[in-house]
Amino acid sequence: MSEHAGAPDEELIALLKRTLPFSSVSAEILQRVAALSRREIFGPGRRLYNVGDASDDVYVVLSGSVQHTLGAEVGAKDALRILVPGEVFGWAALLESQPGRLATATTLERSELVRINGEALLGILDADPAAGQVVMSRFAALINTDYTVPEARARVRGVTSVAPAARPATAPQRGAMSGLALNVYRISQWLKSPRPYFMVLGFAIFLGFWYLATEVWRLPRFKEMPGLTVVLKEWLNPDPVYGLSLHSPEYYTHIWFSVRRVALAFFLATALGVPLGLFLGWSQKFREYVFPVFETLRPIPILAWVPLSILMFKLPESSVLFLTFLASFFATALNTMLGVQSIDESYTRAASCLGASKWQVFRHVIVPGSLPFVFTGLQISVGVAWFSLVAAEMVSGQYGLGYVINTSYTDVKYPTIVIGMITLGAVGYITSAMVRIAGDHLMQWRVRELALGGR
C-alpha cells in the first residue's frame, strides 16, 4: 500500500519548477498543477504499473529511485532508465492514441512520488494555450531524447483551445525537434533578448575608447599605438603600406598556416587528452600513479618547453605543433577528469546493482555524464591552443599570425601588429564556436533543455 502525505503548495510548486516540462511556466499554472497533485510514498520493490496498464497519471520523483523499463515493442534505443529525484515518468498519459502504459515502473528503494492526473493536467494546459504548447513540446523532447523513444511513438496530445494556425510561436512546436531546429530557436530567442545589443554596445565602447585614446586625447600610454583609423586604412588598403591587408595573398597564407597548426594540435590533444581524463576520473589506482606526474608537468609554461622542443624535433614545424599541442592537452585532460568526478555515484551504483559490467558503466554512465565538462574543456583547449601557437610561431615558425606579430614588431610595422591580433581573435572565436556547435550536436538533450528554457 502507498502512504499518503499532504504537502504544502509551496513545496510542490518548488518541485515542479525543477522539472524540465514545468521549469518556465507561470506561478499561476504551477499552483493549479500543484493543487491537483498527490504526494505518495512507496516501499522498495513496489511495482507502480506494467506494460499495458491504463495510463492515467504522470509521476515526478521526489525522493528515492525508480526503475523504468520500456517494452521491446516501443523501439527505444535505451529501454532501461534509473529515475532519480526531479525526473518525470508515466508520460504515456499524455500521448496521442495511447490508452496503455509502454513500460514497467518499479521503486528500487523507499521513494516519494508526486502523481498528477493526465486528463486534469491537459485541462489546465488547454486553458492557457501558450503555456500548454511550451509544456507539451518539452514533454515531447523529454520522451524523444531522454527516453530515446522514436518520434512516431512520442507524439504528445495537442493543446486544443485554439486552432493550430492561431497558436503563438512562443516555443518549438510539439513533437521531437531536430538539433538544427533547436539551434535556430535559440538564435531567435537570443536576437529577441538584449544580449546582442549589449554586445554591439560593448564593441562600440571599446572602439570608441581606442579612437579617443590614440587619436584625440593621445593619452601617455596610448600615443605611440596605431590609431583605429590607421589600422582600418591599412587593413582595407589594396596597396598596403606595410605589405599586409585583406587584399594581399600573404595575409590568407598566414591565417591558413595558423589554422592548420591549431587544428592538428587540437585533434591530437582531444584524441589523447579525453581518454586520459576519463581514466584519471574513473580509476583511482590509475589516478594515483599518473596524476602526480600530470600535475607536475601542467604548470610548466610553454616557453620553458621551447629549448627541449627544438632538441626533440629537428623540423621547425614539428616543434610548433608540439608546443601548441601541449597546453591544449593539459586543459582537455583536466576538464575531462573533473567531468567524470562530477557524476553522482548513485548512477554508477544503480547501474552496477542492475548487473551492468564495468565496460557498460563506463560507456553508458561515465562517458555521457562527463560530456558537458568535456566540451567545456575543449572550448578552453582550443583557446589555449591559440595562446601557445602564437608563442611557438614567434620562436620557431616561418608563417602564421604569431610570426606576423613578432616580425612586425621587429620591423616597426605597428599597424600590422594590430591587424594580426584582431585576426587572431576573430579566428579563435570562430574555432571556439565550432567546438560549441559540435558539442550541441553530440549533446542534443542538453541543447533541448537550454533552448526550451530560453537560455
Q: Where are the chain's structural domains?
A: 3-177, 226-452
pLDDT for 158: 66
Rounded Cα distance between 310 and 106, Å, is 63
pLDDT for 418: 93
pLDDT for 6: 44
DSSP secondary structure code for residue 221 in this structure: T
What grid cell was written down for 32? 493549479
pLDDT for 181: 54
Low-confidence ranges of the chain (pLDDT < 70): 1-9, 97-98, 152-154, 158-186, 189, 396-397, 440-455
Tell me the pairing of strands 111-117 and 57-63.
antiparallel
Q: What is the pTM of this model?
A: 0.58
Q: CATH classification of 3-177 is 3.20.20.150, yes or no? A: no
Residues 6+ apart with CB under 8 A from 48: 42, 59, 66, 90, 105, 106, 107, 113
Domain 226-452 falls in which CATH fold?
Answer: MetI-like fold (1.10.3720)
Average pLDDT, the chain: 82
Contact 130, 168 (CB under 8 A): yes
Rounded Cα distance between 66 and 107, Å, is 4
Cell 575608447, located at residue:
209
